């Protein structure tokens, strides 16, 4: 027997909000998520923008695209919307790409699918196959860096002024805590919402779901029946998994700590940013021309490593 | 039995799994009835003991 929604009191509940201990029906949950996302988008999207959603076909980026399409229809801002999907060449990705195609078709949103192999000359399936045992980086690390480079390049070529990602509150909190643990304060400052890079080649990123927990995203996507792929990539490894587990355990003991921690970190990042203490000087990567702090960008450094392991030349498009 | 109790018994973390009962998401405080079809959608990688 489903309990009644604690907000409307009439419909059956489908989800428990941990921080408030409320049971919500699908309509009230989506309304609550929509309110948080729209209020963030009011600050992040400007008239005349062309927003490219980095669409993997998973629940997070699918809900981000769905809500951006709703926001566009609500006409609070006048902007163009499109979606970009990078095919990393793994079996896991295939169902995500199909879901992405179905969602963009349903929403009538322009969709560009690019192959990692077509852009970089290598894909994740091959990276996984050529990495020696106990190599210093996982396939996951290469995948993330090569994919971000591809999304920025394609977004810029498509005339996008903002790239929207599906990162939710849990993702953003984990990233900040990982950067904090590594002492990488500049990375924390750079990863703010809509932060403009000193280089015009970097398309500013926005995270419409930064105020929505992962489990809320999942419940809303299930309720809305979005054609989204559930579950995380099976190749996921590294520090993030441990950080996630630790925060989740903390959340069980202190409900609401996720929102409190993130809010505290945003304040800290804001203070550091306004103080101007962290500045970066960017130049062009010698190989691909993209902005970097060194002579060769991280993506090209990684591709040089992979080139040696693969014993053949990769692509370094300028 | 409540869904939250079943999740605890099965070792499913409430931050990492969304319960789905008879085809739609369900609140953890819901009491289960005989014949309910209960599934848990894993929403994230959550290796124990990492």
SS3 B31: strand
Chain B hits for A230, CB-CB cut-off 8 Å, are 41-43
pLDDT digits (tens, 9 = 90+) for A133-161: 989 888 888 999 999 999 999 999 999 99
Chain A hits for B46, CB-CB cut-off 8 Å, are 241, 244-245, 248
Instruction: Determine contact, residues A55/A61, Cβ cutoff 8 Å.
Output: yes
- The answer to whether the CB atoms of A244 and B44 lie below 8 A apart is yes
pLDDT digits (tens, 9 = 90+) for A7-34: 999 999 999 998 888 999 999 999 999 9
User: In whole numbers, what is the pLDDT of chain A averaged over residues?
Assistant: 92
Q: Is residue A237 part of a domain?
A: yes
pLDDT band at B30 (very low <50, low <70, confident <90, very high): very high
Please list, in sequence order, all residues whose beta carbon lies within 8 angstroms of the beta carbon of residue B9, skipping any fewer than 6 positions away.
none
A272: left (phi over 0), alpha (psi -120 to 50) or beta: alpha
> Residue A92's pLDDT is what?
76
Residue appearing with tokens 């289960």: B32
Q: Is residue A22 part of a domain?
A: no
Interface test with A, best of B2, B19, B27 (most A CBs within 10 A): B27
Instruction: Determine contact, residues B26/A228, Cβ cutoff 8 Å.
Output: no
Instruction: Determine contact, residues A206/A294, Cβ cutoff 8 Å.
Output: no
pLDDT digits (tens, 9 = 90+) for A52-94: 999 999 999 999 999 999 999 999 999 999 999 999 998 777 8
Q: Is residue A301 part of a domain?
A: no
For chain A, the domain total comes to 1
| Domain range for A127 | 33-278
Distances (CA, A) of A119 to A55, A150, A160, A162, A233: 17, 7, 18, 21, 21
CA trace torsion B48, A238, A87, A97 (10° rounding): 20
Q: Is residue A185 part of a domain?
A: yes
Structure tokens at A257: 């700590």
Q: Is residue A97 part of a domain?
A: yes
- The answer to whether the CB atoms of B46 and A241 lie below 8 A apart is yes
Q: Is residue A284 part of a domain?
A: no
Residue appearing with tokens 């960017």: A282
Q: Is residue A257 part of a domain?
A: yes
Q: What's A3's DSSP letter?
A: P
Chain B hits for A219, CB-CB cut-off 8 Å, are 18, 25
Chain B CA closest to residue A247: B15
pLDDT digits (tens, 9 = 90+) for A209-265: 999 999 999 999 999 999 987 766 666 667 788 888 899 999 989 999 999 999 999
Share of chain B above pLDDT 90, in %: 74
- CATH for A62: 3.40.50.620
Q: Is residue A110 part of a domain?
A: yes
**What is the ipTM metric for this complex?**
0.86
Distances (CA, A) of A217 to A22, A37, A60, A285, A288: 16, 11, 6, 37, 36
Structure tokens at A135: 């190599």
């Amino acid at each position: 027997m489903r309990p009644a929604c604690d907000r409307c009191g009439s419909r059956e509940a489908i989800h428990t909000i941990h921080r408030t201990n409320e049971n919500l029906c699908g309509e009230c949950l989506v309304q609550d998520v929509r309110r948080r996302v729209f209020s963030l988008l009011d600050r992040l999207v400007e008239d005349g923008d062309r927003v490219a959603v980095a669409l993997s076909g998973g629940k997070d980026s699918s809900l981000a695209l769905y809500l951006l399409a709703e926001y566009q229809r609500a006409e609070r801002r006048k902007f163009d919307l499109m979606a970009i999907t990078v095919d990393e060449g793994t079996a896991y990705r295939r169902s995500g790409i199909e879901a992405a195609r179905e969602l963009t078709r349903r929403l009538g949103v322009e969709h560009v699918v690019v192959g990692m192999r077509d852009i970089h000359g290598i894909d994740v399936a091959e990276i996984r196959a050529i990495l020696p045992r106990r190599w210093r980086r996982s396939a996951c690390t290469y995948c993330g860096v090569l994919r971000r480079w591809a999304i920025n390049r394609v977004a810029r070529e498509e005339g996008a002024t903002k790239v929207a990602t599906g990162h939710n509150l849990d993702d953003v909190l984990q990233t900040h805590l990982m950067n904090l643990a590594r002492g990488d304060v500049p990375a924390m400052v750079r990863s703010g919402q809509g932060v403009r890079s000193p280089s015009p080649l970097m398309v500013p990123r926005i995270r419409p779901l930064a105020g929505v927990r992962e489990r809320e995203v999942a419940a809303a996507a299930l309720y809305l029946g979005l054609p989204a792929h559930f579950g995380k990539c099976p190749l996921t490894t590294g520090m993030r998994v441990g950080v996630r587990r630790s925060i989740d355990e903390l959340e069980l003991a202190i409900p609401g700590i996720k929102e409190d921690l993130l809010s505290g970190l945003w304040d800290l990042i804001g203070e550091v940013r306004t103080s101007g203490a962290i500045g970066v000087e960017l130049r062009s990567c010698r190989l691909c021309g993209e902005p970097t702090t060194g002579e060769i960008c991280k993506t090209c450094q990684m591709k040089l490593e992979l080139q040696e392991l693969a014993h053949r030349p990769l692509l370094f498009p300028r | 039995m409540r869904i939250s109790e079943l999740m605890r018994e099965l070792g499913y973390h409430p931050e990492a799994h969304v319960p789905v009962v008879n085809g739609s998401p369900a609140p953890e405080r819901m009491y289960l009835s005989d014949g309910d079809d209960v599934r848990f959608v894993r929403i994230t990688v959550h290796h124990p003991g990492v």
